[in-house]
Each structure stands twice: as C-alpha cells, then as structure tokens.
Amino acid sequence: MQSKKKGNIFIISAASGTGKTTLVSRLLKNNADLRVSISHTTRAPREGEEHGVHYHFVPKEEFESLISKKAFLEHANVFGNYYGTSIAGVESLSNEGFDVILEIDVQGAEQVRNVLPEACSIFILPPSLEILAGRLKGRGTDSADAIATRLAEARREIGEAAHFDFIVVNDDLDRAEADLLHIIKAGRLKRQAQQAFLDGLLENS
C-alpha cells in the first residue's frame, strides 16, 4: 500500500551464509509497502541474475564515474568488487512512500549510519558459527580454503553487529521473518517517522 508519507530506511546486513537474501525475498513477497534498493555492482552476473532486477551490473569505469559524481549513498569494495547504493534510487522509492531495505555489507552500513542516522540497522546472525560453517560447506561451490577464508570474514563481520540497532538470529526462517517484520512495523511508529503527521495535526487544530 502506498501513502504520501516518506518511507523509512532499513539497513540489513549479515555474514554470507546467514540466509539474509532468503529472508529479504520473503519480506518483499509478503509486504507490498516494502521495496529493496537495487545496488550497482562491478561483479559479473551469476546464472539467473538479471540486470536491473538483482543488481545494476556496470563496468568499473562507469562505477568510478558514479562515485565521482557523488551518486552513491554508500559504496564499498566487497570480495574485490565494487558495490554501491544509488541516492536517486533510494530517494525515489522513499518519496513514493515505500519503506526501503538496503541489503548491504557492514562497511556500507557504517557509511549509511553516518549520513542517515535515522536509518534503522538490523544485523542477522546465524545460530552458531558451526551451523554457518555447515551452511557454507553445504553450498558445495567453494574449496576448503575458500570456506576457511569466508568463515574468518564472517567472524570479522559478526564483530560489527555491536554497531547495529537490532539483532535477529536466523535459527528458524518463519520466526526470523516475523522478527524482522516487527522491527519494520515498530520503525513506522517511531516519533521521527510520524513527525510530519504530528506537525500536521497541530497545524490544523
């Protein structure tokens, strides 16, 4: 449902293998007033990924030109590729009244917190590091070395959870999705999010 009120910004971060993408897809499917910001990236599309749907896939030169034009709310180098959130993309969704999810890494989350302190940040944790290791191995796509590197990176990212507003443990998809939705709904009720309504109410009295 769209409204004239500006939508809120929700940052969702997690170490890879935590189920963040699955949870965000579920939220989008079940909530018509939520949108995810489609990031720009210089990484190559994976099988089944579409330009403009999963990412805006752009060459490095174009990405760097966008950086110099200050087109990004945040940008970071993740696993050797650039990723960034377009200011124009987020603004147009928020102005249409949609709550906007930024599914970004911990470096990007820190940048957004600095420029948009009102954004709500959520970190998704795996139930344990053993379970995360099992999930990464279960993908069957990485070598033992690559898995060890990803796990070390996961530990480092999880250490950053201390800077987030909320922590959701993904031990059960249904429960974690419900937890995320509670946070999003509570975000809509925050005084800052209702300030325009409050001002209007007093003006018209």
For the annotated binding site for ATP, the residues are 14-21
- Residue 57 burial class via C-beta count within 10 angstroms: exposed 0-12, middle 13-18, buried 19 and up: middle
Task: Kindly state whether residue 158 participates in binding ligand 5GP, applying the rule CB under 6 A.
Answer: no
Q: Which stretch binds ligand 5GP (CB under 6 A): 2-10, 98-106, 165-173, 185-193?
A: 98-106
Residue from the set 18, 31, 39, 94 that interacts with ligand 5GP by CB under 6 A: 39
Residue entry with tokens 């599914």 = 103
Stretch that binds ligand 5GP, among 72-80, 116-124, 161-169, 188-196 (CB under 6 A): 72-80
Q: Judged by CB under 6 A, does residue 76 bind ligand 5GP?
A: yes
Q: Which two tokens stand for residue 186?
A: 């509570």
134 and 150 in contact (C-beta within 8 Å)? no
Q: Is 91 strand, coil or helix? A: helix
Piece of the chain touching ligand 5GP by CB under 6 A; list 77-85, 122-130, 165-173, 181-189: 77-85
Instruction: State phi, psi for 36 to the nearest 5 degrees.
Output: -105, 140
Residue placing its CB nearer to ligand 5GP in the complex, 78 or 129: 78
What is the rounded distance in angstroms from the CA atom of residue 169 to the CA atom of residue 172? 8
CB closer to ligand 5GP, 13 vs 31:
13
Q: What type of residue sits at position 28?
A: L
* Stretch in the footprint of ligand 5GP (CB under 6 A) among 75-83, 113-121, 129-137, 146-154: 75-83
**127 within 8 A of 62, measured Cβ to Cβ:** no
Cβ atoms of residues 6 and 94 within 8 Å: yes
Residue of 17, 24, 63, 103 that binds ligand 5GP (CB under 6 A): 103
SS3 letters across 147-170? HHHHHHHHHHHHHHHHHCCEEEEC
Among residues 27, 104, 132, 154, which is the contact residue for ligand 5GP, using CB under 6 A?
104
Q: Per rule CB under 6 A, is residue 147 in the interface with ligand 5GP? A: no
Spatial separation of the C-alpha atoms in residues 114 and 108, rounded to whole Å: 10
Q: Which of 63, 83, 123, 166 binds ligand 5GP (CB under 6 A)?
A: 83
Give the residue ranges of the annotated binding site: 14-21
Query: Where on the chain is the footprint of ligand 5GP (CB under 6 A)?
Result: 16, 39, 43, 74, 76, 78, 83-85, 103-105, 107-108
